Amino acid sequence: EAGVTQFPSHSVIEKGQTVTLRCDPISGHDNLYWYRRVMGKEIKFLLHFVKESKQDESGMPNNRFLAERTGGTYSTLKVQPAELEDSGVYFCASSLGQGHSTDTQYFGPGTRLTVL
């Protein structure tokens, strides 16, 4: 069974440009999460989807970030316009969704975003 995949693995863009990150969860996983790790800091929760619905987006930094999960399958995270402080590693995770919070999350390899 394929794990969580993310695309691209690396992205280097200039300040003010737009970048879209993609996450493909494990097939059949209803829960999808986005996280971000800025250099030297802890992994920060961004948001949580259950199928196509945003369950919790309290971690989204500002309105330059837009996450979607059309059809409840893959998800995209768009940053528009990108700022220098958006640089970091963006992780996606998915879980089966068994109705309790011990549900195991499987992480993707991450997308390393560098904003110049």
Partner 1 sequence: QKEVEQNSGPLSVPEGAIASLNCTYSDRGSQSFFWYRQYSGKSPELIMFIYSNGDKEDGRFTAQLNKASQYVSLLIRDSQPSDSATYLCAVNWGGGFKTIFGAGTRLFVKA
Taking the C-alpha atoms of residue 36 and residue 41, their distance in angstroms, rounded to an integer, is 9
Taking the C-alpha atoms of residue 97 and residue 115, their distance in angstroms, rounded to an integer, is 34
Least spacing, CB of residue 59 vs partner 1, in Å: 7
**88 sits near partner 1 (criterion: CB under 8 A):** no
Tell how many helices (H) and how many strands (E) occur in the chain: 0, 11
Of 18 and 55, nearer to partner 1 (C-beta) is: 55
Taking the C-alpha atoms of residue 61 and residue 30, their distance in angstroms, rounded to an integer, is 24
Task: Give me the 46-65 binding string for partner 1, x by CB under 8 A, dash otherwise.
Answer: --x------xx-xx------
**34 sits near partner 1 (criterion: CB under 8 A):** no
Taking the C-alpha atoms of residue 103 and residue 92, their distance in angstroms, rounded to an integer, is 15
Alpha carbon 35 to its chain's center: 5
- Out of 5, 17, 103, 114, the only residue in the binding site for partner 1 (CB under 8 A) is 103
**90 sits near partner 1 (criterion: CB under 8 A):** no
- The residues binding partner 1 (CB under 8 A) are 31, 33, 35, 41-45, 48, 55-56, 58-59, 91, 100-110
